[in-house]
Amino acid sequence: MVKRRVVVTGYGCLTPLGKDPDTFWANLVAGKSGAGPITRFDPCDFPTKIAAEIHDYDPEDYLDAKDARRMDLFSQYAVIAAKQAFHRAQLHEDKWDAERVGVMVGSGSGGLAMIQQEYRRILEKGPNRLSPYLAPSMLSNMASGEIAIALGARGPSAAVVTACATGSSCIGEAMRAIQYGEADIVLAGGTEAPITPLGLAAFSKIRALSRKNEEPAKASRPFDRNRDGFVAGEGAGVLVLEELEHALRRNVPILAELIGYGVTTDAYHITSPRADGEGAAGAMRLALRDAGLSPGQIDYINAHGTGTRLNDWIETQAIKQVFADDAGRVPVSSIKSMTGHMLGAGGAVEMIASVQTLNTGLIPPTINWEEPDEGADLDYVPNVARRKECRYVMSNSFGFGGHNVSLIVKKWE
Q: Report the CATH number at residue 324.
A: 3.40.47.10
- My answer on whether 37 and 174 are in the same domain is yes
Residues 187, 192, 195: CA angle, nearest 5 degrees: 165
Burial 206-216, CB ≥16 within 10 A → b, else e: eebbbebeeeb
Question: What pLDDT score does 2 carry?
Answer: 82
Question: What pLDDT score does 95 carry?
Answer: 86
Report yes or no on 382 lying in a domain. Answer: yes
- One-character DSSP codes across 191-252: EE---SHHHHHHHHHTT-B---TT-GGGT--TTBTT---BPBB-EEEEEEEEEHHHHHHHT-
Instruction: Name the amino acid, one letter, at 77.
Output: Y
Distance of alpha carbon 271 from alpha carbon 263, whole angstroms: 17
- My answer on whether 171 and 66 are in the same domain is yes
Report yes or no on 413 lying in a domain. Answer: no
Report yes or no on 113 lying in a domain. Answer: yes
Question: What pLDDT score does 123 carry?
Answer: 95
Specify whether the CB–CB gap between 348 and 188 falls below 8 A.
yes
Question: What pLDDT score does 1 carry?
Answer: 72
Structural domain of 316: 260-402
Specify whether the CB–CB gap between 374 and 360 falls below 8 A.
no
Question: What pLDDT score does 209 carry?
Answer: 98
- My answer on whether 240 and 269 are in the same domain is no
- My answer on whether 267 and 241 are in the same domain is no
- My answer on whether 223 and 343 are in the same domain is no
- My answer on whether 173 and 278 are in the same domain is no
φ/ψ (deg, to 5) at 4: -75, 150
> Residue 37: CA atoms inside 13 Å, Cβ hemisphere, count?
6
CA dihedral sign of residues 209, 211, 217, 222: negative
**Of 250, 281, 302, at which residue does a domain stop?**
250
**Of 197, 231, 250, at which residue does a domain stop?**
250
- My answer on whether 228 and 278 are in the same domain is no
- My answer on whether 170 and 299 are in the same domain is no
Q: What separation in angstroms does the CA of 131 have from each of 69, 78, 125, 192, 273?
A: 10, 21, 12, 21, 39
Report yes or no on 223 lying in a domain. Answer: yes
Burial 278-310, CB ≥16 within 10 A → b, else e: bbbbbbbbbbbebbebebebbbbbbbbbbbbee
In the chain, the number of structural domains is: 2
Report yes or no on 102 lying in a domain. Answer: yes
User: Which parts of the chain sit beneath pLDDT 70?
Assistant: none
Q: Is 164 considered catalytic here?
A: yes
Question: Of 20, 17, 112, which Cα lies nearest the Cα of 72?
Answer: 112
Question: What pLDDT score does 94 carry?
Answer: 80
- My answer on whether 237 and 292 are in the same domain is no
Report yes or no on 411 lying in a domain. Answer: no
- Helix H or strand E segment including 79: helix 73-88
The single-letter DSSP state of residue 110 is -
The single-letter DSSP state of residue 15 is B
Query: Considering 13, 164, 170, 390, which one is annotated as catalytic?
Result: 164
**Of 216, 250, 284, at which residue does a domain stop?**
250
Instruction: Name the amino acid, one letter, at 390.
Output: C
Report yes or no on 410 lying in a domain. Answer: no
- My answer on whether 58 and 117 are in the same domain is yes
- My answer on whether 174 and 74 are in the same domain is yes
3-state DSSP: the chain helix, strand, coil percent, rounded to 5? 40, 20, 40
Report yes or no on 287 lying in a domain. Answer: yes
Q: Which residues contact 350 (CB under 8 A, 6 or more apart)?
A: 167, 168, 237, 302, 335, 395, 397
- My answer on whether 265 and 193 are in the same domain is no
Model pLDDT for residues 297-353, shown as the tens digit of each residue: 999 999 999 999 999 999 999 999 999 999 999 999 999 999 999 999 999 999 999
Extract the runs of DSSP E, i.e. beta strands, from 15-85. Answer: 36-37, 50-51
User: From the CA atom positions of the chain, what is the Rg in Å?
Assistant: 20
Question: Of 255, 103, 308, which Cα lies nearest the Cα of 187?
Answer: 103
Distance of alpha carbon 405 from alpha carbon 63, whole angstroms: 32
Distance of alpha carbon 251 from alpha carbon 222, whole angstroms: 41
